[in-house]
């Protein structure tokens, strides 16, 4: 079977917080598929130029710009209604939120006028899978639709709109949740089991050098965390647990480095100072990937205390954990979303309940007092990532799945 043309439907491209989309697209390009990316907004220009130059013969990137706010969409609606399909896209009975939000009629007005050619559509996030189905119903696109479900789209978004995926689950052709826990949730919503398949967002596991962690005499235990400084990452829990751990009698010397930027950074720094950890908790800010790698190479234990945000927002399976484990680091994490599918308690790391600061402090103490366990834990984690979360293997599987889907169209 010849490789099918594949079109990604995404909200923004390239997006620094969604590098897995670019990695997946490049994986399909490397396997001989013709790939198009259709985005509703343009992202980082420098990154776009770089990927366009690298794949100039086989990658197409196009934009159907949709204003971000409802007010801006409303202001541009009158000029959009010159086309019949834009008028049809206002049908709330057929298209629900896509019509109410005005995204669908504006997309219909701005969509390329040429007749659509058959291809496989790959939408990232349930929201855009539903949108792709609406585009297909309007005759703007043609071909089977596969949807990848990640984190927020399976948590906070569904909390606000419990029936948001009803039409998608009836009309979509393939559903690709990134974890077992999301697959079970989709099945409970009515997704067909035979077309609902776990598809991991992996990492280039064999690119990382596995280095056993060891503690030199007199050296502090170096904990490290990487991620956006937002509520669901739980960095305030990590700081509080670290302070409690350091206050326990006989606690070894230790430091905590946090890498990343976000809306909570200032409050997290204030939290560290208030707990008397201004000198032991270091905020490194947002660093380029090479600098992050250097920081990870110097650290001993990775910490990511994810929790469900008040909005309901949850993680999928954090890529930062996969990258740390691929390098041979033991990890401390929480039983949150799909994390236990990656981190095996007492094998590759230690888990506690999300939001359990006392439990996390106890785990910090347990791992800090047992550096002789670090090499075995790190080796177990690296083996897990290579076996079950290697991006290359998952891109092979994605190419097969999309080709099979195209063959059934």
User: For 215-238, what is each residue's pLDDT tens digit?
Assistant: 999 999 999 999 999 999 999 999
- For domain 205-388, give its CATH number from 3.40.640.10, 3.40.50.620, 3.40.50.2000, 3.50.50.60: 3.40.50.2000
Q: Does residue 168 have a pLDDT over 90?
A: yes
> How far is the C-alpha of 234 from the C-alpha of 263, rounded, in Å?
13
Around 148, how many Cα atoms within 13 Å sit in the side-chain half-sphere?
A: 21
Q: Does residue 2 have a pLDDT over 80?
A: no
pLDDT tens string 297-332: 999 999 999 999 999 999 999 999 999 999 999 999
Query: What would the 3-class secondary structure string for the chain be?
Result: CCCCCEEEEECCECCHHHHHHHHHHHHHHHCCCCEEEEECCECCHHHHHHHHHHCCCCEEEEECCCCCCHHHHHHHHHHHCCCHHHHHCCCHHHHCHHHHCCHHHHHHHHCCCCCCCCCEEEEECHHHHHHHHHHHHCCCCCCCEEEEECCHHHCHHHHHCCCCCHHHHHHCCEEEECCHHHHHHHHHCCCCHHHECCCCCCECHHHCCCCCCCCCCCCCEEEEEECCCCHHHCHHHHHHHHHHHHCCCCCCCEEEEEECCCCCHHHHHHHHHHCCCCCCEEEEECCCHHHHHHHHHHCCEEEECCCCCCCCCCCCCCHHHHHHHHCCCCEEEECCCCHHHHCCECCCEEEECCCCHHHHHHHHHHHHCCHHHHHHHHHHHHHHHHHHCEHHHHHHHHHHHHHHHHHHC
Query: Residues near 75 by Cβ (< 8 Å), separated by ≥ 6?
Result: 67
Lowest mean pLDDT among 79-88, 102-111, 256-265, 376-385: 79-88
Q: What is the mean pLDDT of residues 19-27?
A: 94
Q: What is the mean pLDDT of residues 150-167?
A: 96
**Highest CATH level, class, for 6-64+111-202+390-408:** alpha beta
Q: Does residue 97 have a pLDDT over 80?
A: yes
> How far is the C-alpha of 218 from the C-alpha of 371, rounded, in Å?
13
Q: Does residue 111 have a pLDDT over 70?
A: yes
pLDDT of residue 16: 84
Could you tell me how far CA 100 lies from the centroid of its own chain? 27
pLDDT tier at 399 (50, 70, 90 boundaries)? very high
CA dihedral sign of residues 134, 136, 139, 141: positive
pLDDT of residue 4: 86
> How far is the C-alpha of 188 from the C-alpha of 182, rounded, in Å?
10
Q: Which among 120, 115, 144 has a CA at the least distance from the CA of 33? A: 120
Share of the chain above pLDDT 90, in %: 93
**Overall pTM surpassing 0.75 (yes/no):** yes
CB neighbours (10 Å) of residue 276?
12
pLDDT of residue 130: 97
Q: What is the mean pLDDT of residues 160-178?
A: 96
Q: Does residue 409 have a pLDDT over 80?
A: no
pLDDT of residue 383: 98
pLDDT of residue 289: 84
Q: Where in the chain is the domain with CATH 3.40.50.2000?
A: 6-64+111-202+390-408, 205-388
């Amino acid at each position: 079977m010849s490789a099918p043309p594949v079109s990604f439907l995404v909200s923004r491209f390239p997006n620094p917080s969604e590098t897995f989309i670019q990695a997946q697209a490049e994986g399909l390009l490397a396997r001989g598929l013709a790939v198009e990316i259709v985005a509703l907004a343009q992202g980082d220009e420098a990154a776009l130029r770089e990927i366009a130059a690298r794949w100039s013969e086989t990658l197409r990137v196009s934009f159907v710009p949709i204003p971000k706010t409802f007010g801006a969409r409303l202001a541009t609606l009158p000029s959009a209604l010159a086309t019949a399909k834009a008028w049809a896209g206002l049908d709330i009975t057929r298209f629900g939120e896509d019509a109410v939000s005005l995204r669908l009629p504006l997309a219909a007005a701005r969509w390329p006028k040429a007749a659509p050619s058959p291809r496989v559509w790959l939408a990232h996030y349930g929201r855009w899978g539903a949108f792709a189905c609406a585009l297909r119903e309007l005759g703007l696109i043609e071909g089977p639709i596969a949807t990848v479900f990640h984190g927020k789209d399976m948590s906070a978004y569904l909390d606000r709109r419990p029936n948001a995926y009803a039409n998608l689950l009836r009309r979509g052709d393939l559903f690709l949740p990134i974890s077992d826990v999301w697959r079970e949730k989709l099945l409970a919503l009515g997704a067909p089991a035979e077309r609902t398949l776990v598809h991991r967002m992996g990492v280039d596991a064999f690119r990382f050098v596995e280095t056993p962690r060891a503690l030199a005499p007199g050296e502090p235990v170096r904990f490290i965390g990487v991620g956006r400084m937002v509520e669901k990452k739980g960095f305030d829990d990590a700081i509080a647990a670290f302070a409690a751990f350091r206050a326990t009698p006989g606690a070894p010397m230790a430091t905590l480095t946090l890498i990343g930027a976000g809306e909570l950074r200032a409050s997290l720094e204030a939290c560290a100072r208030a707990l008397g950890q201004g000198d032991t908790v270091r905020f490194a800010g947002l660093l380029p990937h090479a600098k992050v790698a250097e920081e990870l190479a110097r650290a001993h234990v990775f910490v990511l205390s994810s929790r469900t945000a008040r909005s309901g927002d949850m993680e999928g399976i954090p890529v930062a954990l996969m990258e740390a484990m691929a390098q041979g680091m033991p990890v401390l994490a929480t039983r949150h979303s799909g994390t236990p599918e990656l981190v095996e308690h007492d094998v590759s790391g230690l888990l506690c309940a999300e939001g359990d600061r006392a439990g996390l402090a106890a785990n910090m103490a347990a791992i800090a007092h047992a550096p002789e366990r670090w090499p075995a834990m790190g080796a177990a984690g690296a083996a897990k990532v290579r076996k079950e979360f290697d991006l290359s293997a998952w891109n092979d599987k994605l190419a097969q799945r999309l080709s099979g889907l195209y063959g059934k169209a």
